[in-house]
Structure 1
Amino acid sequence: MAEPAADGRRRTSARYRERDADGPRDKNKRLKVSYSEAELAIVREAAARANQAVAAWVGDTALKVAKEKVVPVSVDARDLIAELIQARNQASRIGNNVNQIAKALNGDGSVSGAQLTATMDAIVKAIQRMDEATLQVMRERRPRS
């Protein structure tokens, strides 16, 4: 429940402010959703993780997906996306190394062949990881109908 602010007005959470921005909800509009026991257990678990009531979680999630604020992905796709993020971070670090090598070469030429080879190998591996993960995500992506 919202607590009163110092000025006496009620504070509301970001979730409710977002909902209010869309206009008042007509509480007479209801939708019945049916689940098997196994499906309901999954939905209850997800609602608990979000610290929401089941009906609120189902409604908010469905609305976010419908508005394309959230794109549902499988656990496998989440793992692949995490791999892409790691590869991107690695590529960023490698880019920093390449900049440092270029600076050293332009300054006094104190970069060894081994350092240059190691950096270039890391670049190739990072690009390969990103390519593999990207292709996997593309294979698993379902086209919108």
Structure 2
Amino acid sequence: MRKQRVFGETRRRTRRNDEPRQHRVSLRLGDDEMAAVQAGATLARLTPAGYAARTVVAVAMGTLTPIPPTTRDELRELLEARTALTRIGNNLNQLARARNAGGDVTDEQLLAVLERVEAAVRRMDEATIVNMRRRRRRD
């Protein structure tokens, strides 16, 4: 078995449990495409050829669905916004604790902030679901 260097360590190549692959596919890639494949392979701890093979087969068999960059960016924004709202909710809980400990925060203030946070989280969840359904329809 051939040894390969990944992340500065030497690892033995693992053999697949099933039959060896008998067919070859040749790819021609531009510099940017090759850099992307090499980066993905490094993260996956595979050779570029192994990474390309695994990715192509997964897409072809339907176990991996590529997400267009625009959709991926939309989802990332939604998830980041939801995370921010969750943090605001946590801050609201801290305000409630402070008030319960004798701080100067009224019930009305707490309820108003809580209602806004809950409404915003609901909107974010709904937008995420709509986005995911739109993505499924494209598949």
Q: TM-score range by the shorter chain?
A: 0.5 to 0.7
TM-score by length of 1: 0.59
Aligned to 2:131: 136
Aligned to 2:11: 12
Q: 1:101 to 1:125 in 2, by over 3 A?
A: same
TM-score by length of 2: 0.61
Between 1 and 2, higher relative CO (CA 8 Å, sep ≥ 6) is seen in 1
Q: Is the partner of 1:99 in helix, strand or coil?
A: helix
In the comparison of the two structures, how many residue pairs are matched? 126
Aligned to 1:50: 40
Aligned to 1:117: 112
Q: 1:67 to 1:26 in 2, by over 3 A?
A: farther
Calculate the aligned-residue CA RMSD, in Å: 3.6
The 5 A counterparts of 1:1-145 are 1-2=3-4, 11-12=10-11, 16-17=13-14, 20=15, 22-23=16-17, 26-27=20-21, 29-32=22-25, 40-41=29-30, 43-50=33-40, 52-53=47-48, 55-65=49-59, 66=61, 68=63, 70-108=64-102, 110-112=104-106, 113-114=108-109, 116-142=111-137
Aligned to 2:44: none
Q: In 1, distance between residues paired with 2:19 and 2:52?
A: 16
